[in-house]
Amino acid sequence: MASELHEAIFMAKRERHKNLFLNYRNLNIFPVELLRDEGMQFLERLFMKRNSLTTLPENLAQKLPNLIELYLHSNNIVIIPQAIGNLAKLQSLDLSDNALQVICPEIGQLRSLRHLRLANNQLKFLPQELGDLRELETLDVSVNLLRTLPERLHQCLSLQCLTADRNLLHCLPRLLCLLPDLSELSMAANCLTSLPLDLGRCMELQFVFVDNNAHLKGLPSYLYNKVIGCSGCGLAAQISDLKQLCLTLGDVTVPLPSEVKAIGSETDRVLPLEELACRVLHAAHSWTSKDVRFLTPFLLPKSLLDVVRSPLGHCHRCSQPMFTIVYPKLFPLRETALAGVHKRTTVSFVAYCCSSYCLRTFDLQG
């Protein structure tokens, strides 16, 4: 086995191969032949799946500076060295099926990275620096121990596919709804109790899979015309978080997202003054931010500015930003045209509106 390994590396060096396959070699340390002398400056793709590696060498980027793809699926890697951030040309990194408990912040330095696979590890959190990966298109963090996703993940402006099945997630950062290119989102088999109000508002998002979240009873009405997977949702008998406001229609009770602190009804005729003020400030802030004549767009306390910049969501009828109060309406899935498609679920669609007028006139199928 050792002689075959040496021969494969020797041939790759002599013939300046761009691809090197070292899968199924029973390796427990990184081959030193790859790192000797000048290394393999020409190598672009390295396949080392199903070995027994526990770590990577610190000088990997120095010896393999032109590496574009690195596949380390199914090893025993416990830690990734900080020097991983020096692989400036790396576009695809597969670390699935290892023993990772922590991902170093330096992974955010991989500015060319497009595909990152971290599924089936032991990760309890992800570094905020993932938000620096502006070229990232695919992120798979399934089968870990994650309770939250990084708040800065919405800064991955190229992200198209996000998969986080079989974790311990209770909610999603609402700013994920801002991702302009996100087309597929999979959060099956977590502990979700609600979804962001604006999820599905972006036209690019076409596939949303939240199957087997037993406490998830409400889907934003934006998802009505999407391809959704919700089998096994809403089957829990009790609401898990009593701090969440709930909406009830007959025998259907749906917990709302925890950030929703007040709800209105069809009989309300006047908006609360606090909500009106936030809407006016938001409109003014948006206007001054776009006008180059205003060098300092808006002078507000940071706490208030954060509220104005990040509404709870947008009205599902007229797209008006909402800040302190929403006017929700339930549409049990069993009473919609999708009832025959989704049978093993008791979820409802929730329309979040900005006023009693929009609430009364909202049409789920319109």
Domain positions in the chain are 1-159, 169-284+300-366
Fold (topology level) of 1-159: 3.80.10
Q: Which two tokens stand for residue 115?
A: 């595909």
- pLDDT of the residue at 294: 47
CB half-sphere exposure, 332, CA atoms < 13 A: 12
CA distance 256 to 143: 26
Please give the Cα distance from 78 to 2 (Å, whole number). Answer: 24
- Give the strand pairing for 252-255 and 313-314: unpaired
Q: Is residue 192 a contact partner of residue 229, using CB atoms and an 8 Å limit?
A: no
Does residue 190 contact residue 164 with C-beta atoms inside 8 Å? yes
149-204 tens-digit pLDDT: 999 999 999 999 999 999 999 999 999 999 999 999 999 999 999 999 999 999 99
Give pLDDT, residue 292: 45
Where would I find the H helices in the chain?
A: 2-14, 60-63, 273-290, 302-309, 356-361
CA distance 305 to 366: 34
**Inter-residue contact 189 to 213 (CB < 8 Å):** yes
Question: Which residues neighbour 240 within 8 Å (Cβ) at sequence distance 6 or greater?
Answer: 191, 193, 215, 255
Amino acid 10: pLDDT: 87
Identify the pLDDT of residue 309.
Answer: 80
Contact indicator for 195, 215 with CB cutoff of 8 Å: no
Q: What is the pLDDT of residue 250?
A: 84
Gap between the Cα atoms of 62 and 65, Å rounded: 6
Kindly give the parts of the chain with pLDDT less than 70.
1-2, 238-242, 287-300, 343, 366
DSSP bridge pairs for 117: 94, 140
Question: How much of the chain exceeds pLDDT 70, in percent?
Answer: 93
